[in-house]
Structure 1
Amino acid sequence: MRSIISLFVLGAGLGVVANPIVPYTVHEKRTSLPMGWSHSRRHDSSAALPLRFGLTQNNIADIGEYLHDVSHPDSPNYGKHWTASQIAEAFAPSDETVSNVHSWLIDNGFDSSRIRVTPAKSWIEVDATVEEAESLLRTEYNIYGHESGSEHVACESYHLPAHLIPHIDIVTPTVHFDAKLARRANAPPAVVNGKKPGMGNAPKTTGVVTNLLAGTDGCDQQITPACLQALYGLNYTPVSTSSNSIGIVEYTPQAFVQSDINMFASSYAPDLNGKAPVVVSIDGGVVQTTTTGFNDNGESNLDLQYAMSIVTAAQPVTLYQAGDIVEGASFNNFLDAIDGSYCTFEGGDAAGQDSAYPDTSAGGYNGKDCGTVTPANVISTSYTYNEGDLSVSYATRQCAEYAKLGLMGVTILYSSGDSGVAGSGGACLANNAFSPTFPGSCPYVTAVGATQINSGSTVSDPEGACEQVIYSGGGFSNYFSLPSYQSTAVSSFLTNYPPPYTSSQYNSTGQSRGIPDISANGANYVVAVDGSFSLVYGTSASSPVAAAIFTLINDARLAAGKAPIGFINPTIYSSAFNGAFNDITTGGNQGCGTNGFSSAPGWDPVTGLGTPNFPKLLSAWLALP
């Protein structure tokens, strides 16, 4: 797991410029627009455009080695996590990098008073006009429209002087589409009937259920906390709750409803009655009550009701509520809050993609949260992007931030998507090629897929890959290389169970990151939403359930005077954890006009290593230093 290595470079070549002594090179180039977007118009040349230059960080090529050193069970430094100050010192860009980029901007007519360098030296920002930015980057800026009504500022490609290529990772806004999408007016509820891949990243529902089943006899029809306890051996009472932590990330307007938690508690978790998550507001994040319904309350209610029930009422659960009701938020806005050096306030985000704060709109949040939030030991997010909607540089830069969190001992989990080998909304790449999701494809997060109790089976029978309403997201990254911790597992799958597809359909090199890493049940969850119980499906359920299970393991390690488990991937793929997950060998993840991949013995790109076997995982982790 050496470093973040991009497998495909999105463009290279020389640009013709007025000054032949300074050759310009294509730094990033987009070959197509993401699904749902179309060119609208040229951007106004006099419009303001806040340019952000992500400077190349020192030692970033070795971040995988550093993370491996504190995360692999055979390492003498296992569990010896870094402090935030150690991370800042290790990865700060060099003075040479800062000087070179600063001088280039001066040479191109930007007065030094307009150039701002972040305190951590990670970013340089310049507020330019579109005309100035186009001249500086040898590009043209356009406005793109989305079918939801959102608009986005971007270009098709941009150029940098050849001598600056080693010093600049990324320029924003440019080619990437990490866009915030407005909710379409009068959007239908996220209700799906039949065995088809779901649309979008939100959980899906088949509607209200009135005949609640008791005990574990009907877990193939209704998943409850009792079903999960039986499936994964969850017989543990937390004892280190004051020193332990778990965080669930939600993005406004998604909002939980306390009366729904109480309703859920009355049927399935009596200790949760009246219990609420600890809300940490990020950039004006608010648990809004203006709009309700499954689209607004389904995700957050699902995540919290099941995470809270597994860790019990004794363990506080932190809700990171990101974005005000006007702007909303993106993954980068969340990262801003837990890492000030990554923040727009100090020079970080992308205009037109990440929410801009302070928000001067009526009712907006007139501030910006940067480095104001302490990350929990385990953080779960049930939202994804399509990897192909982002540039390689953008995804790589964000991926490095997850590695830094891992170095600090934080376990980061992301759902792997609900559309099988297709991306969000069932979107595929050109010529119906498979579309992996991000951040799950980042080798420094743990991607969580979905399983199901097969019809007619019990909690004592093996689960299968989820094929009800949704299909477990999985496949192989087009951006990130195969991490060393996963090489044996991926090689074994491709050798023993070769997929019946060509390289035109998926990254068949055998040298790319495979997803997911693990899985958990994702079908037939009984969730209280707006005063009724609904059946809910999705990796949106799998990720918080896995996060809660790992939180219990952290509890036991903390009680034993040991460090949190941190970045788990090198550990769970190691021989020390053989058999610690319930292997899933049936079911597939169809999409893009195919049957997708198939589950198989060992790791597979449908359910990963399998579902947690809590007693075995607990024993294995307690045996580590």
Structure 2
Amino acid sequence: MPFLTQSFVFLTFSLLVTAIVSPRVVHEKRDATPSGWTPVRRAAADVVLPLRIGLTQPNLETLDDYLLEISHPESPNYGKHWSAAKVAEMFRPPPAAVKTVLEWLEDEGLDASRVKLSKGGSWIHANMTVEEAEMLLGTEYHVYQHGESGVEHIACEEKYHLPEHVAEHVDLVMPTLHFDVHMGRKRSIDTSIGQPGAGIVNPKLMGEVESALLNTTSCDEQITPDCLRALYGYDYTPVATDKNSIGIVEYTPVAYLPADMDMFFGNYSPTQVGQRPVVVSIDGGYEQTSFEGFSINGEANLDLQYAMALVGSTQNVTLYQVGDLVEGASFNNFLDALDASYCTYDGGDNTTFDGVYPDSEYDSKDCGTVSLTNIISTSYGYTEALLGPAYIQRQCYEYGKLGLMGVTFLYSSGDNGVAGNGECLDADGAESYSGTRFNPGFPGTCPYVTSVGATQVQPGKTVNDPEVACDTNIYSGGGFSNVFAIPDWQVDAVHGYLNNYSVAYAADVYNSSGISRGYPDIALNGLNYSVISNGLIQLVAGTSASAPTAAAILSGVNDARLAAGKSPIGFINPTIYSSNFSSGFNDITSGNNPGCGTDGFSAQPGWDPVTGLGTLNFPKLLDLWLALP
């Protein structure tokens, strides 16, 4: 029987019985309305919401142990990565948990025909009206309006409730509180992360140059593939290209232009003229040319030109093109395609952030259908505050699960220093241009990804001189998470920094607890990259340059290991933070990452929240990784 056709008296009685059997508890709450948003009216009772319940996954409390077993260099099981089937089985919600939540919905009068369990078994989906959802969750839905853009969004007021016996089986319910869309930058097509100006990572255009640099004498003015090879000792010819793989992720409408690729290769890698990435379409992604310009083509051109030139003509590069022009896409849409145990497009995507398919052009079937590459680089990001703890925690665990399968995930750390997307946090934890608290980026703060910051060659210096933290046009994103705890493999590094170097900020300015995840993990040059975009030689800056460069260099390590009959490096963080690997990095000891009215943090000897462990020293890292089983 439909939920609202029962009498009010019977429904009230049902809720009272439920309350007696299992009292309702606050499941999630929001302390303040996000910056720029104002409640303007109660949501209409008959508006239909795509309610999605994310079930708690078992064994996540031991995920770190599983990862250390295959990723720590001293483990006897180093490199013995898991199969997708083993991962799915380990983290699938048990039937008893699914039964509990389904019975709760049935007890509340929701007909079974309206309820759907996702293919991965971890999401329950049911369309219901606002009135039904308010009764179910003990909350009120309001329409919030953004003052600058006029955009409206339906969200809960402050908090929502679940029965105590149900709450233990649920991570989060959406849509409820997770609507903190940053609308400060108007977007021309839609609201996906692929939009110009979206997120914390955007290649910064520094100007045009008349001619390409064809030597390494002026790398302080113009970075080229040869400059990067010289900086990091990357002199390597792949020999196991049939076994190795590297992936670059782009989000529609961002797309590369073939003519730009050929012009770039003509300058820096002539044997690659005509070469293209191997495109893997996710949720209708394709190499769109309906929209052009640096804001549309700059990122993809940068990522692919450098990744492809550095790995060379014999190694294919996979382009994961995610989302169509109607819906766009998000990290969750991408992760859906990689792991069937996670799939949320049919039961768990957040309509605020995630493209929801089918749309007018595409009906997604990409549920665990896409092959994993050994390394995946992504030059996009958000902030922790924007997405909310429950949303990012669930997504972060997915990176850990994929790490079990042997994938190295690299994410740019951000381009605004400690200020996240350019905004800081106010006293209530909301993003604000007048805020004074540091605003950590995500996914860089997720312990299961490797976060990549930015360095630069100092003006007037050469590739033989020490680099410094990038302080021209962009600042390396870094700091300490407000959500994720410090992983065991990072404790010594973080405590070493906090104990040995003065951080002259009050405890309410940043998470100074010493028990939170620090980022970035590593850094690479991120200034003055020579990129061909829309037929012009453009100088570009950003951690969005650092991440694909790191991926290409680490891909060389994978190639050598695979050629020696060994596994790819997989989740690298426990390894690179181990004492034996300290010699594999060029320590960066100068520079800051300003923001929020401060100088940010300072680069110091050892790990720091500006440049991480330092830049890659390829010859030393190659020897160190080849020495592992």
TM (norm. structure 1) is 0.92
Q: CA shift at 1:284, angstroms?
A: 0.8
Matched position secondary structure for 2:401: helix
Which residue pairs with 1:450 in the alignment?
Answer: 454
Which residue is 1:153 aligned to? 154
Q: How far apart are 1:498 and its partner, in Å?
A: 2.7
Kindly provide the amino acid, as one letter, of the partner of residue 171 in structure 1: V
Once residues 387 and 345 of structure 2 are traced to their aligned partners in structure 1, the CA distance between those partners, rounded to angstroms, is 22
Shift of the 80–91 alpha-carbon distance from structure 1 to 2, 3 Å rule, reads same
User: Are 2:128 and 1:162 equivalent residues in the alignment?
Assistant: no
Does the CA-based 8 Å contact 2:180-2:386 persist in structure 1?
yes
Other structure's SS at 1:85 match: helix
Task: Tell me the alpha carbon deviations over residues 251-297 of structure 1, each in whole angstroms, 9 at most, x when there is no partner.
Answer: 11101001001111111121221111111111111221111111101
Is residue 416 of structure 1 aligned with residue 423 of structure 2?
A: no
Match of 1:593 in 2: 597
Match of 1:484 in 2: 488
Q: Label 1:452 to 1:16 Cα distance change in 2 as closer, same or farther (>3 A).
A: farther
Distance 1:467 1:583 in 2: 17
Matching residue within 454, 460, 463 for 1:459: 463
Looking at structure 2, the residues matched to 306 and 366 of structure 1 have their Cα atoms a distance apart, in angstroms, of 33
Aligned AA for 2:595? G
TM-score, with normalisation over the residues of structure 2?
0.92
Equivalences for residues 490-505 of structure 1 within 5 A: 490-505=494-509
Alpha-carbon offset, residue 22 of structure 1: 3.7
| Contact 2:203–2:542 under 8 Å retained in 1 | yes
- In structure 2, the residue matched to 1:273 is 273
Cα shift at 1:143? 3.5
Q: 1:527 aligns with which of 513, 519, 531?
A: 531
Instruction: Classify the secondary structure of the residue corresponding to 2:229.
Output: helix
Aligned to 1:367: 364
Contact 1:34 1:388 in 2 (8 A): no
Contact kept? 1:201, 1:425, Cα under 8 Å: no
Q: Which moved more, 1:111-120 or 1:302-311?
A: 111-120
- Deviations 1:564-618, CA, capped at 9 Å, x for gaps: 0000000000012021010000000000000000000000000000000000000
- Flag the 1:115–1:562 CA change in 2: closer, same or farther, 3 A: same
For 2:596, the aligned partner's letter is: C
| 1:559 paired to 2:556 | no
Q: Does 1:475 align with 2:479?
A: yes
Secondary structure class of the residue paired with 1:545: helix
Please say if residues 152 and 353 of structure 1, whose CA atoms lie closer than 8 Å, have aligned partners that are also in contact: no
Q: What secondary structure does 2:341 align onto?
A: helix
Distance 1:18 1:83 in 2: 41
CA separation of 1:534/1:198 partners in 2, compared to 1, >3 Å: closer, same or farther?
farther
Given that 1:338 and 1:375 are in contact with CA atoms closer than 8 Å, whether structure 2 keeps it comes out as yes
Distance 1:181 1:260 in 2: 31
Structure 2 CA distance for partners of 1:425 and 1:39, relative to 1, 3 Å: farther
Q: Output the CA distance in 1 between the equivalents of 2:166 and 2:270.
A: 60
Q: Deviations over 1:373-403 (max 9, x none)?
A: 1111000111111111122221111011000
How far apart, CA to CA, are the structure 1 residues paired with 2:611 and 2:286? 34
- SS of the equivalent of 1:340 reads coil
> Measured at CA, do residues 386 and 16 of structure 1 come closer, stay the same or move farther in structure 2, by a change above 3 Å?
farther
1:326 and 1:180 map into 2 onto residues whose CA distance is 20
Question: Paired residue for 1:319?
Answer: 319
The answer to whether the 8 Å contact 2:119/2:343 transfers is: no
Q: C-alpha deviations, 1:292-347, integer Å up to 9, x for none?
A: 11110111100000111111121111111111101100110001111122223442
Give the superposed CA RMSD: 2.1
In structure 1, how many angstroms separate the alpha carbons of the residues matched to 2:187 and 2:496?
48
Give the alignment of 1:201-350 within 5 angstroms.
201-350=201-350
Deviation by residue 1:464-490 (Cα, 9 ceiling, x = unmatched):
000010000000000011100000000
Residue pair 1:149, 1:184 contacting (<8 A) in 2 also: no
- 1:610 aligned partner: 614
Cα distance, 1:516–1:290 mapped onto 2, change above 3 Å = same
Whether the 8 Å CA contact 1:117–1:125 is kept in 2: the answer is yes
Partner of 1:8: none
1:37 Cα deviation after fit? 4.3
Q: Does the 8 Å contact 1:254/1:296 carry over to 2? A: yes
Report the Cα offset of residue 368 of structure 1: 3.5
| Separation in 2, partners of 1:338, 1:506 | 34
Identity over aligned pairs, percent: 59
**More displaced 10-residue stretch of structure 1: 311-320 or 404-413:** 311-320
Contact 2:445 2:451 in 1 (8 A): yes
SS in 2 for 1:341: coil
Contact 2:200 2:380 in 1 (8 A): no
Q: Is the 8 A contact 1:53 1:125 kept in 2?
A: yes
* Paired residue total: 599
Out of 170, 174, 177, the residue aligned to residue 176 of structure 2 is 174
